[in-house]
Structure 1
Amino acid sequence: MNDGVTNCEVTHDLARGHSSATLLEASKLGIALSPELRSLWAGARLCGPAFTVQGAGGDNLALHHAVLQAPPGSVLVADLGGARFGHWGEVLTVAAQHRRLAGLLIDGGARDAAEIEALGFPVFSRNDSILGTRKDFRGVFGRPVTVGGITVRTGDLVVGDGDGVVALPSAEADRILDRADARVAHERELMARVREGRSTLELYDLEGAGR
């Protein structure tokens, strides 16, 4: 099993297995990143504490430094201004897996999707691009960054899946996770009743709605 998958399994319990949609609904906060930030490959799941990176569009030197600075288990959360360049690819992925990082969330472009999928490393990006990058700006690390329209701080819990990406503020994470546990338990009860023949209109008290 490759290191990327192992890291995802190790950090999976940080989100208690909840989907991004469940966490958003449980939070009652504006924690959803722009839907334009999507998985580079189908089926990827991102989960772990953020390590923030402020880079420059079209320049990936900051990402090379971030791989060395981020603690194991971290998700790199990089603001590259949404630039359409291949800031991240196969070589950086192998380096990140060697450092046992949990994944990458980048407001910018990435490339080598097939190779990164084969490595099992979760990357969520705004776009994919083969355009090359310069290496001039060393980056700023550990400060708040704006990614997908949301401010993310180092230590925030980042969860991404097929539905999208959320960033749980570290101070609110336990409360949100507890609410998500309760929401999932309630939905299981509802689905059991649906299987017994009850209608969703009845269960959600919607029979008089829309009149």
Structure 2
Amino acid sequence: MSDQARGHATATIYEASKMTIALDPAIRPAWTGARVAGPAYTVQGAGGDNLALHSAVAAAPAGHVLVADLGGALHGHWGEVLAVAAQQRGLLGLIIDGGVRDTVELAGIDFPVFSRGISIVGTRKGYRGGLGVPITVGGIRIATGDLVVGDADGVVAIPHEHVTDVLERSDARVADEKRIFDELRVGKTTLELYKFAAIP
């Protein structure tokens, strides 16, 4: 995963943020072990058409993660060919509200993809779409430049103006959890540490 999220897990970032930044849990890794973190480059496409994704691969700056709204359509909008093209242009991964295919091949080239589902259903190439425009993916509004982070537990999108604050709070949460783990290992209970009321 890119160090832009300081290696923090999505669950840590979400809890520390105190914000609504978690995408719909249906947006999942397309292959086991996929992880990604980086600034979003947004794509507004149409379900069942992947021309906008081809355009995005050509246009997006290196070091960005493509984030695409395909209306949740379960077509094979993305596969090995686009992934190889994206890698060659320095793109970090894809988060898509729609379907993808070639998941074994995507894992084989270590290109992280997070999608609503897997599908081999073909696509048209007729809708030019929009690049770099605000979109909604997994129920969350995302703009180009927002920090997106994905791992085995899900995906979060941090508005660019809040990134520094959220990551600093994530650092503090990780440090506090380390203290908690240390205390658990010497025999304290979670009831004690979190001051939960025990059942009488």
TM-score (norm 1): 0.93
User: What is the aligned length?
Assistant: 200
Select 1:89's aligned residue among 76, 79, 96.
79
Inter-partner Cα distance in structure 1 for 2:158 and 2:89: 24
1:154 is matched with 144
2:172 is matched with 182
Select 2:43's aligned residue among 34, 39, 53.
53
1:5 is matched with none
Select 2:187's aligned residue among 193, 197, 205.
197
CA shift digits 1:82-122 (9 cap, x unpaired): 00100000000000000010000000000000001000000
Inter-partner Cα distance in structure 2 for 1:209 and 1:141: 53
Inter-partner Cα distance in structure 1 for 2:78 and 2:67: 12
What is the letter of the counterpart of residue 49 of structure 2?
Answer: D
1:33 is matched with 23
* Structure 1 stretches lacking a partner, 5+ long: 1-7
Please state how far the C-alpha of 1:37 moved relative to its aligned partner: 0.2
Select 1:119's aligned residue among 90, 102, 109.
109
Inter-partner Cα distance in structure 2 for 1:142 and 1:44: 24
Inter-partner Cα distance in structure 2 for 1:93 and 1:173: 27
* Partner-residue secondary structure (3-state), 1:202: helix
Please state how far the C-alpha of 1:138 moved relative to its aligned partner: 1.1
* Partner-residue secondary structure (3-state), 1:189: helix
1:109 is matched with 99
**Root mean square deviation of aligned Cα:** 0.9
Please state how far the C-alpha of 1:143 moved relative to its aligned partner: 0.9
Inter-partner Cα distance in structure 1 for 2:32 and 2:168: 28
1:144 aligns with 2:134: yes
Inter-partner Cα distance in structure 1 for 2:102 and 2:199: 49
Please state how far the C-alpha of 1:209 moved relative to its aligned partner: 5.0
What is the letter of the counterpart of residue 171 of structure 1?
Answer: E
Please state how far the C-alpha of 1:13 moved relative to its aligned partner: 1.6
What is the letter of the counterpart of residue 167 of structure 2?
Answer: L
TM-score (norm 2): 0.98
1:78 is matched with 68
Please state how far the C-alpha of 1:46 moved relative to its aligned partner: 1.3
What is the letter of the counterpart of residue 34 of structure 1?
Answer: D
Inter-partner Cα distance in structure 2 for 1:132 and 1:171: 38
1:23 is matched with 13
What is the letter of the counterpart of residue 114 of structure 1?
Answer: V
